[in-house]
Copies of this chain bind each other. A is one copy, B any other.
């Protein structure tokens, strides 16, 4: 999916993750050596620690198309700190420093596994929303029976108005194009009961507006809960309250089912032999459904590319977040969003 060579600099907040900066360095090496990432990476964090980690496992010679530099940030924002206070009190922490590199134009994208609230606050307050956008949204990619699809919003804006939901559709469409390479993403609006008038007034209003802007995006209509994993749309639009609970409960159910199967498989020797013979099937099932390939939830609708990765991301997830960050830059996603939001706002204001 990579375009021809683009100049691209990604600032990486290496300090926020549960697994520490060493996993970030592994992720960096994976991105450059395995995913052939060709860009400039600025590792933001405790410089001497990062130097030591890079010395232990230097990059292979054939990865010369990538350049890695370091940016010292002595402080760390913890996962449980209050976002606004943390940003005010720790200006030298790795996360605000990475966002600052983006703001001043020294980087084209930021990747962080840190405190979600602080990252959203930094993106919204320092970079600012794009013109015409009232509330940024977090998107993520979920597996389906067919191709993966974008779910937006997964928690940035829990109280979305119809206008916010229409904007989510535009943001999600651009993200699906850039991250998944889909030319004309099919957009579905999540509701209960697809008959006329069955959802909430907010959903019904949004549905009406989305039909009006079909053409700018490719709106295919309402979808219900039982269709979420069908893969019949490329973008599922909902508010941040719904999306966050849907995402978190699905992750929880996935691990609950996995654990229940494991318990049942060790109940007697026959089952244990069966499990041993079929264990690769479970590994492959996990790989197919795991979020690692599409890691990173971008905060969309702001003047810059910011990707949030799960706090517990492993090096594969981190490497893929870097890859996706580069796609967003290569696709000039932000310019595309900026133009469409102006058109959409004009159209819905005239309804």
A residues near B, CB below 8 A? 117, 144-145, 155, 158-159, 190-193, 199-201, 203, 224-230, 240-242, 244-254, 256-257, 259-261, 264-265, 267, 270-271, 273-282, 284-285, 288-289
Using known A-B contacts A158-B199, A271-B281, A278-B275, determine if residue A230 contacts B242 with beta carbons closer than 8 Å.
no
Cβ contact within 8 Å between B270 and A245: no
Distance in angstroms from A311 CB to nearest chain B CB is 12
The CA of A155 and the CA of B256, in the complex, are separated in Å by 24
Closest to A258 in B: B257
Contacts of A280 in B (CB 8 A): 264, 271
Contacts of A192 in B (CB 8 A): 155, 158, 240-241, 244-245, 248
Using known A-B contacts A252-B227, A252-B229, determine if residue A277 contacts B281 with beta carbons closer than 8 Å.
no
Cβ contact within 8 Å between A252 and B225: yes
The CA of A253 and the CA of B284, in the complex, are separated in Å by 17
Main secondary structure of the interface of A (DSSP, over half): helix
Cβ contact within 8 Å between B246 and A246: yes
Distance in angstroms from A32 CB to nearest chain B CB is 31
The CA of A145 and the CA of B260, in the complex, are separated in Å by 8
Contacts of A226 in B (CB 8 A): 248-249, 251-252
Copies held by the complex? 2
Cβ contact within 8 Å between A225 and B246: yes
Cβ contact within 8 Å between B264 and A249: no
Cβ contact within 8 Å between B245 and A200: no
Cβ contact within 8 Å between A200 and B241: yes
Contacts of A279 in B (CB 8 A): 274
Distance in angstroms from A79 CB to nearest chain B CB is 12
4 closest residue pairs by CB, A with B: A225-B248, A274-B278, A274-B277, A264-B281
Q: What would be 14 A-B contacts, judged by CB atoms less than 8 Å apart?
A: A144-B256, A145-B256, A155-B192, A190-B245, A200-B241, A225-B244, A225-B246, A225-B249, A226-B249, A226-B251, A227-B252, A265-B281, A271-B277, A271-B280
Distance in angstroms from A324 CB to nearest chain B CB is 23
Contacts of A274 in B (CB 8 A): 273-279, 281
The CA of A259 and the CA of B278, in the complex, are separated in Å by 15
Cβ contact within 8 Å between B248 and A224: yes
Contacts of A248 in B (CB 8 A): 192, 224-226, 228
Distance in angstroms from A270 CB to nearest chain B CB is 5
Contacts of A276 in B (CB 8 A): 274
Using known A-B contacts A158-B192, A271-B278, A275-B278, determine if residue A228 contacts B252 with beta carbons closer than 8 Å.
yes
Cβ contact within 8 Å between B240 and A267: no
Contacts of A259 in B (CB 8 A): 145
Cβ contact within 8 Å between A285 and B256: no
